Structure 1
Amino acid sequence: MPTGVAIRDAREQLFDAAERVLLRAGPSALTSRAVTTEAGCAKGVLHRHFADFDAFLAELVLDRVARIDHQAATLRDSAGTGTVADNLTGALKGLFGPVAVAIVGLVTSRDDLRARLRRTTPTGIPLLTEATTMIASYLAVERELGRIAADADVDTLAPTLIGTGHMLFADRKGVPPEAEAVRKVVTAVVAGVGRSAAPSLDLKSG
């Protein structure tokens, strides 16, 4: 097997193993031994591909953050279709899956990891920062289309939606919140920017 393919497969196997440990036992259980044991490989495999365990964790976070690019493109493409409230509801449900919530918990629980990630995300929390940019970009397009008020402050609405959404999904041991619960949060946050675009926002409770 070509070297490049072997390395890529090893990285993904280790990342997937780390996610399983993280989801099952939380950030405190995430050690190099736990990851390699979960992946069914020798501990040296991890250190062949990463300088140290913090470097591995940083790459894990960045790999998962990169997936937001696809979600962002999908959300932007939805601008002008459906309703703003429904589009945002779907976006938040897609963003805050169990892995994403666990990754945020990992970043906030490890000072060394957070310091390393400052090189690529100088402010905010990785994943939440990129998610906020995604929502702000979408809202800006909807504002240009006239589906939300021309004076809507998307740079305030976006972090409000992400922060509230994260709180709604975090620390849930059972099933995630229903779409209607997420939609209720979304409508509460964006209700003030409906103006003449109320039909597109679809903020009516009935």
Structure 2
Amino acid sequence: MLTSKSSRPTPERLLDAAEKLMRTSGLANATTKAIAREAGCSEAALYKHFANKEELFVRVLMERTPNAGPLMAALRADPGERTAEDEAEAGGGGEQELTAIARHASLFYADAIPLAASLFAEPALLSRHREGVQEIGAGPHVLLDALAERLRRELDAGRLRPDADPRAAAALLLGACFQRAFFLHFSGAHVVQPVEEFAPAVARTVWAALR
């Protein structure tokens, strides 16, 4: 049986509306008033469930894009116990796990860039967005922090070189994934490697420098 729009919980209707407007009209034009109207509720009801528009944006990004959940799960997963043989095996252990992270990050950034792009056309709006995201303790740096912490656990377990820099390595891997997404949207698919080739290549390179 199909569920009518009005019977869905208000927070879900608001997320539905926010996703629709952010994808079709752009984040800059998806005002709280427009989102509330699209959801069939008042702007006051929106603020009852969400701190600000930025929380809606983050929730849409993290709950309504297919790779966000798998990416965060991979970033937060315990690296677990591995033997020296695991690490010596090509494609095994940490390299394999970084490959999964690189794949999900590449696809996540490809989804995120169009959602946020309109912000950069209006400096005042970008500034307000930055402040709103900071209020709820979110932001793009969260991914970097999570991967750096994961690699730090690898370092503490003795699986990385003693002089390895977890945060720099995390920045290199995620930066490459973001750049691929940027090139994909601005230059086209013909200038980037397919993600199934790109992810293992980037992961292999980063892991080789860390081991």
**What is the TM-score with the length of structure 1 in the denominator?**
0.65
In the alignment, which of 132, 135, 152 is matched to residue 164 of structure 2? 152
- After the TM superposition, which residues 1-16 of structure 1 pair with which residues of structure 2 at under 5 Å, given as runs? 9-16=9-16
- What is the one-letter code of the residue matched to 2:175? G
Give the ranges of 4+ consecutive aligned residues of structure 1 lying more than 6 Å apart after TM superposition. Answer: 65-70
- What is the one-letter code of the residue matched to 2:44? H
**Residue 114 (str. 1) matches residue 115 (str. 2):** no
In the alignment, which of 140, 165, 178 is matched to residue 195 of structure 2? 178
**Unaligned segments of structure 2, at least 5 residues:** 1-5, 83-91
> 2: distance between equivalents of 1:128 and 1:166?
11
Counterpart in the other structure of 1:94:
104
Counterpart in the other structure of 2:54:
58
1:102 is displaced (CA, Å) by: 4.3
- What is the one-letter code of the residue matched to 2:157? L
Change beyond 3 A, Cα 1:171–1:10:
farther
> 2: distance between equivalents of 1:187 and 1:24?
37
Counterpart in the other structure of 1:198:
none
**What is the TM-score with the length of structure 2 in the denominator?**
0.64
Change beyond 3 A, Cα 1:31–1:163:
same
SS in 1 for 2:162: coil
> 1: distance between equivalents of 2:33 and 2:57?
19
SS in 2 for 1:170: helix
Identity within the alignment, %: 22
**Unaligned segments of structure 1, at least 5 residues:** 1-5, 195-206
Q: Aligned-pair RMSD on alpha carbons?
A: 3.7
- After the TM superposition, which residues 162-177 of structure 1 pair with which residues of structure 2 at under 5 Å, given as runs? 162-170=174-182, 172=184, 177=194
1:130 is displaced (CA, Å) by: 0.7
- What is the one-letter code of the residue matched to 2:149? S
> 1: distance between equivalents of 2:30 and 2:178?
22
- State the number of aligned residues: 180
Counterpart in the other structure of 1:133:
145
